[in-house]
Structure 1
Amino acid sequence: MDRNVVIATILTALIMFVWLWWLAPPPPPPTTAARDSLQQEDTAAQEVIAQEEAPTAPGAPLLAGPLNDTLLAAARNGRARTITIETDLYEAQLSTKGATLVSLKLKKYKQYDFETPVQLVDTTKPGALSLVFTTPTNHLVDTRALYFRTATTADTIRVADEPVEVAFEVPVGDGRIRQVYTFLPGDYEVRLRVEQEGAATFSTIEGYELVWNGGVPFAERDRDDEARHSGAFARSGGELEKITLDGQRTEEKRLAGQVDWVAVKNKFFTAVMIPSGETRGAELVGERLGEPEDPSYWEDYAARLLMPRPEDGQVDEFRLYLGPMEYFRLARYDLGLYDMVDYGWDAFEWMTRPLAKFVFIPLFTLLGRLLGNYGLAIIVFALLVKIALYPLTRASFRNMAKMRELQPELEAIREKYADNPQKQQEALMKLYREKKINPLGGCLPMLLQWPVLIALWQYFQQSLIVRQQAFLWAKDLSAPDPILHLPFKIPLYGDFVAGFTLLMGLSMIIQMRIQSASTPSNPQTKILTYVFPVFIFAIFNRLSSALNLYYLCYNIFSAIQQFWINRSLEKEKTKAAVDGQGDRRAAQKAARKAAEARRRKQARTRR
């Protein structure tokens, strides 16, 4: 294997190592500095609940809190009732206490156990949605602590062909708050109208907040991996803002002015709030609870839309997208919602994101629908990628073949100018120009493939379309495919052996042996032939089986291409040698004829 291949291989390993190091979460800071700002609204709601349940001694002073504000006297007591909304896509539950979502289960998506529906609401909290405002007497009010009334009498409502509205209302002082949910058939969008009559009598000039509490619960087996893809997001001024708790206990970000949307998400599912009118800004808050290795590990997020106080008769409208991170569903909003999906370093993202959005996603979706199996789609996809990159691969191998032929001359120049590096470099460049060879032509085409490979790396790691899709022994192409469980855990590797990762490592060995078959023996390259596949096998073991299946097929097709190109180059070399021999024979024959003609001419002259 010539030096260019060695350089390209080392650069490949270096890029992968740095990439994985960048993905790994840093160690957490001391917990004593953590700030429990995420619990502000939940604490207010729980304090109200505690006040309702705690006995009050006669003559004792009233506890300071929202319920002691006379504005909320009519909302202090009531009976919570749950209303179930069923559509083809999900089952939602609304509680009259807080007029909030207390559950939303997706029917078409299951958790890692393949049985439990994916839940978008943190059921440990009083509810997901709430309005938060401050009264003129400086009491913080979270509507999840208030009892609303509703005219809906049915406990279960089925959404069939027409949208269904469910309205809640609560009196507040001389005014009222009215929240109206509209559930659409065949859609993950829920519309929300917020009407506040007499808002000036029960809230300050600052207005109110529409809050999504609790983030989106984890749904995958690998919580550490899912946490890396979870966070709270907002779009302001055309830019994506986010917090992701990369090794931090708490984090928050406050935005001022107009905000297009706010959202929380885990790896594959999201809850988005899109305002139709003006906003005062937004606030994103996150807190990490526990450690990644703990069964109770959790990352808690809240997304808040800061809304101005409405005028009498004004209605604030919101669109809520509560569902999977499906590209085509999110793209129809034309608000950059899919930008929440991370496609790597900013240095590469200007290429990797367009490749994923406009090439990989449409093509892979089409292949999946045509073939009916996403494992087969991955194989065909890898073949198409290799065909598309064939001109680069062919140019790379041809350039390396020319470099191999030049090795004797290159070594002679290095020995001749061993004590003068400057002259040695000048002589080498002169030889390259004479032979019309680019010394970087062997590795540059390989490096040009990296934006494509990195985009595929990120796409398969976060592609909802392969989630819980089976192929051969892999039950879920979005997760590893263990074929052997170990009685111990190896750091960075895990406690299992993944099947497609093992095959991928073997395919790399075969590919590199084919590649080195036509090159001079080199101890360094022999070491790389075995060390590099082992290194890849170790770091890829915990990645998605879809990614490993893709690289397995990619390596197999690369080996076939290399074998074919090597044979073609050998045939061309043999043909050139035969043609050269023919030319020499023709020249020799012509020379003999010329010599014979001269002898005859000389003989005639002597006569």
Structure 2
Amino acid sequence: MDNQRNLLLAVGLSFLLILGWDAAMRYFYPQASTASETEQVDPVAQPATASAPGDSANIVSGGATAEAGTVDLAQALASPERVRIDAPRIEGSINLVGALVDDIELKDHRQTVDKDSGPVQLFAPQGTDRQYFAQFGWVGDGVALPDARTQWGADGEVLTAETPVTLSWDNGEGQTFRIRFAIDDNYMLTASQSVSNSAGGPIVVRPFGLINRDASSASPDQWIVHSGPMGAFGETVEYGPDYDDLAEEGTFAPEGGAADWIGFSDIYWLSALVPEEGVATTPGYRSLGAETYRADVIYAPETVAAGGSSNRTTRLFAGAKESVVLDAYEAAGIENFSRAIDWGWFRWFERPILTLLRYLFDLVGNFGVAIILLTVIIRGLLFPIAQKQFASMAAMKAVQPKMKAIQERYKDDKQKQQQEIMKLYKEEKVNPLAGCLPLLIQIPIFFALYKVLILAIEMRHEPFFLWIKDLSAPDPAKILNLFGLLPFDPPGFLGIGILAVLLGITMWLTFKLNPSAMDPVQQQIFNIMPWVLMFVMAPFAAGLLLYWVTSNLLTLAQQSYLYSKHPQLRAAAEKQKADQAAVKARDQAREGKS
């Protein structure tokens, strides 16, 4: 009866674990909001860190005021007052009204797993449902400055990696403002802002750069990876604040002082301003209301003498968080730029995993196969440890009679009993923790692969075979909707796919082959655990389940091989299990008679 009660308790706790896990996943992995905002955005707002109201008059949130989602993207981009961008990895345009970089598509990354879905639209004009853009300009007092309604002229029609384009505007008071845009072969634009003063007296201006975005289209912020405001200040990278905190506080000034870079991060995408090195700046974030936020960099005031000029250069990264590209920019002088990917504490281990996966992918051309090969390599490296584990288990079986004798002899003195058992371990050279070592080593490997599958854009939309079209997404072949035949998507832990079922089966088989015999309650728990994990792991990335299933299959093969090398271990385990079955049958018979 006690065993049955314990079994029911284990089943109940397992069910609560599944429900709790699903609730936690929904809390920490919320769905991104797709609702349009109806509040108006103030076109003029004080910068998050400006000290004087007059300094903010020309730092604006965009061109003409418009409600988010009220402007059609195609209509907004059809304006002839644009300079086209056609770079190796970026295409789009710059709006000559306001000199806004508000149209950027990423040529090498498509919107969905569908190959015909078109490139990712990273930047989009104000008023569209994906409002996201950058602006460069000046603030100051006593001088006519360009703003978001200014019509700029351009000396070219197309910005390419070989042909920069300069925008210019004459205020009619003796000052000419210019912004020279250049772009490299990846995702970096360079904006060189200059002011020429031909008037009779000096002027004082502060150049600035800003990024404005509507967060309703942002990827959700998760406990394992930050999505939102991000930047490098001093010697640290700040993954925060999140959008909710910024909306509540209104403004945020980083503690690290001057920015190495500042912007907004999604799981796969990044927009960041990189100020001119060695020049004093004031960085900050600001909530503009209606889920609209801004990151800005404002330079120190500059006095432009009569007949003189002033120049400042700010770079704008707008693209994919590809680790190789970010590493190259960091090597070129942008501090901590590689940490725009939120690897966390284990980046020293996750980066080699990604490097090895990329190398294997280059060999076989399929990331699913690369994950399988990675699993084989890891299990191969751990095989000597597994051999020692089985040898230790065999030794533990050999000393079982002596341990039972010690336990019986010192049953009334637990301290002496433990001392004698430890002495026995030392004399027989037995390590009771050896069986835990492979599992402990697997934990950081598993976590590292989990992070890589979430963060590495190389895994995004990468197929395996048959029904698995995206290794970074959950298994789409779910049993409850008959593998997609029924028109609904099972929620959370009920979305059990083929890989999750294979995970449960292979884990159950590994437990059945476990060389250590357990008491009845432990046996019941281990019989339930694989099916609990089947539910728990169902929402995870298909690539992670592929790794675990492959690891379980290799464990089965490994256990079968090592059993052949240690037949006494199998015999002892089978004998102990048979004895336990006999005791259980005898107890049941006694209960039946009573």
TM-score by length of 1: 0.72
Corresponding residue to 1:128 among 115, 133, 151: 133
1:493 matched to which residue of 2?
493
1:320 matched to which residue of 2?
316
CA distance in 1, matches of 2:202, 2:493: 57
2:564 matched to which residue of 1?
567
Cα 1:304/1:524, change in 2 over 3 Å: farther
For residues 500-548 of structure 1, what are the alpha-carbon distances to aligned partners after superposition, in whole Å with 9 as ceiling and x for unaligned? Answer: 2222222211222122xx3325323322333322232222222211111
**1:435: Cα distance to partner?**
1.3
**1:254: Cα distance to partner?**
1.1
The residue type paired with residue 190 of structure 2 is: R
The residue type paired with residue 135 of structure 2 is: S
For residues 61-91 of structure 1, what are the alpha-carbon distances to aligned partners after superposition, in whole Å with 9 as ceiling and x for unaligned? Answer: xxxxxxxxxxxxxxxxxx9712222233221
Corresponding residue to 1:407 among 400, 409, 414: 400
For residues 84-103 of structure 1, what are the alpha-carbon distances to aligned partners after superposition, in whole Å with 9 as ceiling and x for unaligned? Answer: 22233221111111111121
Q: How does 1:355-434 map to 2 (within 5 A)?
A: 355-357=349-351, 359-434=352-427
2:510 matched to which residue of 1?
511
Cα 1:490/1:127, change in 2 over 3 Å: closer
The residue type paired with residue 107 of structure 2 is: K
The residue type paired with residue 236 of structure 2 is: E
**1:108: Cα distance to partner?**
1.7
Cα 1:46/1:131, change in 2 over 3 Å: closer
**1:23: Cα distance to partner?**
9.8
For residues 122-141 of structure 1, what are the alpha-carbon distances to aligned partners after superposition, in whole Å with 9 as ceiling and x for unaligned? Answer: 434476112365432799x8
For residues 429-454 of structure 1, what are the alpha-carbon distances to aligned partners after superposition, in whole Å with 9 as ceiling and x for unaligned? Answer: 11111112223222144223322222
Tell me whether 189-198 or 458-467 shows the greater mean CA deviation: 189-198
Q: How does 1:109-508 map to 2 (within 5 A)?
A: 109-112=109-112, 114=114, 115-125=117-127, 128-131=133-136, 134-136=139-141, 143-152=147-156, 154=157, 157=158, 159=160, 163-172=162-171, 173-184=173-184, 186-198=185-197, 207-214=206-213, 218=217, 229-243=226-240, 245=242, 248=245, 250=248, 252-255=251-254, 257-277=257-277, 278-285=279-286, 301-312=293-304, 313-334=309-330, 335-344=335-344, 349=345, 352-357=346-351, 359-472=352-465, 473-484=467-478, 486=481, 492-493=492-493, 496-508=495-507
2:28 matched to which residue of 1?
25
SS of alignment partner, residue 534 of structure 1? helix
CA distance in 1, matches of 2:527, 2:122: 45
**1:24: Cα distance to partner?**
4.5
**1:303: Cα distance to partner?**
2.3
Cα 1:548/1:573, change in 2 over 3 Å: closer
Contact 1:101–1:127, Cα closer than 8 Å, also in 2: no
Q: Identity percentage over the alignment?
A: 22
Cα 1:525/1:84, change in 2 over 3 Å: same
**1:106: Cα distance to partner?**
1.2
The residue type paired with residue 320 of structure 2 is: P
1:579 matched to which residue of 2?
none
**1:418: Cα distance to partner?**
2.9
Runs ≥4 residues deviating over 6 A? 17-20, 36-40, 199-205, 224-227, 286-289, 487-491, 571-574
CA distance in 2, matches of 1:26, 1:376: 28
Corresponding residue to 2:540 among 540, 543, 559: 543
SS of alignment partner, residue 120 of structure 1? strand
Cα 1:254/1:83, change in 2 over 3 Å: same
SS of alignment partner, residue 412 of structure 1? helix
CA RMSD of aligned residues (A): 3.9
Contact 1:122–1:217, Cα closer than 8 Å, also in 2: no
CA distance in 2, matches of 1:453, 1:387: 15
SS of alignment partner, residue 493 of structure 1? helix
SS of alignment partner, residue 366 of structure 1? helix
SS of alignment partner, residue 503 of structure 1? helix
Tell me whether 300-309 or 383-392 shows the greater mean CA deviation: 300-309
SS of alignment partner, residue 500 of structure 1? helix
**1:110: Cα distance to partner?**
0.9
CA distance in 2, matches of 1:142, 1:24: 45
Cα 1:48/1:478, change in 2 over 3 Å: closer
SS of alignment partner, residue 330 of structure 1? helix
Contact 1:133–1:203, Cα closer than 8 Å, also in 2: no
Structure 1: gaps (5+ residues): 1-9, 29-35, 52-78, 290-298, 575-607
1:522 matched to which residue of 2?
519
**1:316: Cα distance to partner?**
1.4
**1:187: Cα distance to partner?**
2.3
Q: Looking at CA atoms only, which structure, 1 or 2, has the larger radius of gyration? A: 1
**1:569: Cα distance to partner?**
1.8
For residues 32-80 of structure 1, what are the alpha-carbon distances to aligned partners after superposition, in whole Å with 9 as ceiling and x for unaligned? Answer: xxxx9997757975798369xxxxxxxxxxxxxxxxxxxxxxxxxxx97
**1:20: Cα distance to partner?**
10
TM-score by length of 2: 0.73
**1:483: Cα distance to partner?**
0.8
Residue 553 in structure 1 maps to residue 550 in structure 2? yes
CA distance in 2, matches of 1:529, 1:573: 19
1:97 matched to which residue of 2?
97
The residue type paired with residue 122 of structure 2 is: L
CA distance in 1, matches of 2:549, 2:323: 26
Structure 2: gaps (5+ residues): 1-12, 32-38, 47-58, 67-78, 482-486, 572-594
The residue type paired with residue 266 of structure 1 is: D
The residue type paired with residue 298 of structure 2 is: L
Contact 1:218–1:226, Cα closer than 8 Å, also in 2: no
CA distance in 2, matches of 1:85, 1:497: 45
SS of alignment partner, residue 355 of structure 2? helix
CA distance in 1, matches of 2:189, 2:540: 34
Contact 1:130–1:142, Cα closer than 8 Å, also in 2: no
Contact 2:262–2:283, Cα closer than 8 Å, also in 1: yes
Contact 2:204–2:302, Cα closer than 8 Å, also in 1: no
The residue type paired with residue 434 of structure 1 is: E
